[in-house]
A and B are shown apart, each in its own frame.
Chain A
Amino acid sequence: MDEILRLENITKIYPNGVTANKDANLSVRKGEIHALVGENGAGKSTLMKIIFGMEQPTEGNIIYNGKQTQIKSPLDAIACGIGMVHQHFMLVESMTVAENIVLGAEPGKGPIPNNRAMIEQTKEIIEKYNFVINPKEKISDLPIGTRQKVEILKALYKGAQVLILDEPTAVLTPQETTELFRELRGLRDMGHTIIFISHKLNEIKEICDRITIMRNGTTVGVHDVGSVSQQEISNLMVGKDIDWNIEKNPPKRGEVILDVKNVSVLDEAQRSILKEVSFSLHAGTILGIVGVEGNGQSELVEAITGLHKADAGSIKFHGNDIADSSIKQIREMGLAHIPQDRMLRGAVVNGSIEDNMIATFIDKEEFSSGPVLKTKKIRSWSEKLIKDFMVKTDGPEVPVKMLSGGNIQKVIVAREFSSNADCIIADQPTRGIDVGAAKFIHRKLIEMRDNGVAIMLISADLSEIMDVSDSLLVMYGGRFVAYFPDASKVSEEELGQYMLGVKQQTSEEVKGCIA
């Protein structure tokens, strides 16, 4: 097969002196799905932004269709037929699907866009690629999986032959991922070339043809996906053997820490999303909550953590009702929360790593006396967290927005895990995190549970939730539909049936999760 894109000895040094890429080489063939893997901060996103013209290489060449090419801006890239779906969504939520798809290349002569053509062309492209989306819907009304498709259509509309997908599945449910893969195969069959970044090696085995592995900014080899095992891939990524085992003793179940009773929540449109759910969380246990996204998990988390108050029901933390407490009060009582949407809620992206790590403890005596901060203490403490959690950075004063996606996540996890809380709500704690660091977080969760912390784990990754949790609750349609007191006694298939609403336990069985 012909080579469509080649990167030769790309080096990228950011203005702040960070070397993100060093002598990276990449060769992509026309019509293949090419995987790019590497640890958090290995330089994958940077390399892709260089191809898409959002960053300029410090050194090195880009050869596109056999010709050396300068890509100075996304416009150049689009003109070459290169499209990119970014790690963080690039959509304008108040606009419609059609407007987002044509944005930057609106149909119609002169200053006024041709609305009819806009809708027509959007419809055409949606049909051509067998997607199912209503072009007139607003982005803010769409589920995450559909937004992802709009991103892909945006690139295709502008004539992308080469499509770069930077961790497209990180935010998708297993069902949405399956659908995305079907569509990606369709695209490949139509002659498109896809570069696919993911930390989920099983996905790569499933859909990719070849794989390039990156380590510390440089590429360390390219393989046929069929000829390397997941184990080999991750060893190549890290440069040494990874310990895959997780040791887990039986839980020492303590008193009830969190007691949720008949909690209901309504959405903006006043539909009830959470319907009188009840459960208890015990000290020293990990309760996993599974479900297809949009079945009430996020609302449950928001109600407990105080981000969005419940409309009815009671939530008791250590026996005190927290339904009307502020987020700060709830945190002070000892509840930590790793939020799902890091860019929106977890991190102050313009702040430094240190600021973010200290954000929720700023009032603690260790770090401040009165209004004055103890900067030395804060410094040494954040340096320790950076080391413990393997955050890849030059130091605690670096702004969070300059970190790679997975490293931003690590900063938040580090802060929440070190808060001395006796209850942690971990919402997708390893989303976007590389395999090695994910294992570390899993071990940490288990270690904390052994120290008597109560943990509620929400995850779309079934293998993660089954490995780590002690007991499991399945959510469907805003209710709990199944309870498994022993997580090791269920299979993925069985869980899947409950998640899709095919099966349902009796309400007596589900009530096992109370007290």
Chain B
Amino acid sequence: MTSNQQTAGRALAGAGPSRSKRRKWLDQEGRWGLLFVSPYLIHFIVFVAGPLAASLYFSLSDYDMLNPPKWTGLDNYARLLHDPLFWKSLWNTLYFVILFVPSQAFLALLLAVALNRKLKGLKLFRMAHFIPVISSWTVILYVADSVFNPRFGFANAFLTRIGLDPQRWLQDEQLVIPLLVLIAVWKGIGYMMVIYLAGLQSVPGDLYEAADIDGAGAVRKFRAITLPLISPTTFLVIVLSTISTFQAFEQIYVLTGGAGGITAAGGPNNASLVLMLYLYREGFAFMRMGYASALAWVLFTILFVLTLLQLRLQGRWVHYD
């Protein structure tokens, strides 16, 4: 790819024989190129590299934004180890990720397989699944509330009708995370489904025809053809959704906090306090920027290790032709 670009660049520069022999380090095209990429250069230096270094430094200091940061070494990290709320938020996050990632990946694949055919009105069905995707979490709050409001939602009306006890749903310590997962799967499934649809379209149709001749059933075809050939997409979906779910913030902030904002979010009794929510609370509500930065680096490290692990494991089950 890179050599192609270089050839492309050379062709564009109208590379005469004298030019290609001895080129100045920074010719006219090079200056244009640097000018073109300068927005990203500024971005990288000011908003990526600098902040990365700063946040590592903050994580090793005591910093409240009013006074200059005071170096404390690994203190913040040591405090994290003895902080029950950190462990609780870590556990909540893991619980959320473990419930969410596989169930969404599986259901999205199922849906994509069902939609991967010539159906009348296919576009309408696809659009139906996209409406939650394009909604903000604030919209989703009221949609979810119409069903799961403990007082006047339809879920409790249904439970009462069939003679079961009404539930407190998002205000129930046991139910809050599974329900948040359910809502998140519902909201995001259209997005994942489209990624899968693109993957399915690359599976050659003659494989299925051959399987038809051999008399293979739908389930067998799915397991023997679709699943292995779609595995690169599955891998991508799982990696992407693991990374983003570990950083879940908005959905939990809105759905558990509602109008109450950060002081109400994460409840009941911190049962839905995830790492990002805890980080936000420590950093922006209590101004413990050092401690919050340490939390950020722990989260970053977990994500880094998980991504490496997933890359290592992909050889075992991902099929590339």
Q: Answer yes or no: are A and B bound together in one complex.
A: no
A residues adjacent to B (C-beta < 8 A) = none
B residues adjacent to A (C-beta < 8 A) = none
